[in-house]
Amino acid sequence: MRLKIKGEITQEQLAKALDEAVKVLESLQPGAKFYGANLYLTPYDTDGDLLTIVDERHHPLVLEITAQSGTIAKPALTAEAQQRRDAVREAKRQLANQLAERDRQELAEYNRKRQIQAVQITKAQIAFGALNELTSKLLASEPQVLVDRFNDAIRVSWHSHEPKEPHGPRKGELKPLPKFSIVDGKLSLFAASWKSPRLLLNPIGNLNSNLIAPVWTHDAWLVAVDSFLRIMRDMGGTIPEEIFGDHLPKGIAAD
């Protein structure tokens, strides 16, 4: 309990304040008593300036009033009180252990996910390189056949899924048909919403952390992307195994 007294501190005020404190304590816990107190007194001189009273070591002066002879400084702890203290201490210990275990598990899970992500990133990088290499190989051997088959796959998928514009002034209208072409020996893709064609290292997607992200994620394009990979397999023979995995766009499989 904190006891704050305003105004000049006199013996009468101290006695009155203590009496009030005793009444409050009795109302809260009948039979309880105060043992020990830290009383901070704030002295002022006659000019109203705050005084700092120090001892011979220039530390704030502390006056200690010992207990009267024959009295106790504080009551002895009963067995029940000790049990309560022990129970509280044990509860705190168990809580600390639970929190420590939770932190350990969270750290272990974080490290596990980081390791998985590192493996996925490596796989995606290898797959991206393999896709780029295979695309370059096919462009060097049969460029026009490759592009024509890619565009045929897009037309079939657009006809089957009829992708619509989700927003904007053309909301609800059929998305314009994108088209592959060859620019300076490289694979190029053009869409009506773009200002200029985009050069692509491969038709499947670009490297994005631990994934190979497709140009678009709507169903019509993802189905077309799946067809691109099948076309590349048909034209290139065996596709490197590292191309397949969770890093590919959703729906792309090894079969």
pTM equals 0.59
Which residues partner with 207 through β-bridges?
A: 212
pLDDT of residue 220: 93
Q: Encode pLDDT of 48-58 as tens digits.
A: 888 888 888 88
What is the spatial distance between Cα 232 and Cα 138, in angstroms, rounded to a whole number? Answer: 8
Q: Is the pLDDT of residue 252 over 70?
A: no
Which range is least confidently modeled, 82-86, 96-100, 169-173, 209-213?
Answer: 209-213
For residue 1, give every residue at least 6 positions away whose Cβ sits within 8 Å of its Cβ, in sequence order, or none: 21, 24, 25, 34
pLDDT averaged over the chain? 87
Q: Encode pLDDT of 136-176 as tens digits.
A: 999 999 999 999 999 999 999 999 999 898 888 888 888 99
Q: Is the pLDDT of residue 67 over 90?
A: no
Q: Is the pLDDT of residue 254 over 50?
A: no
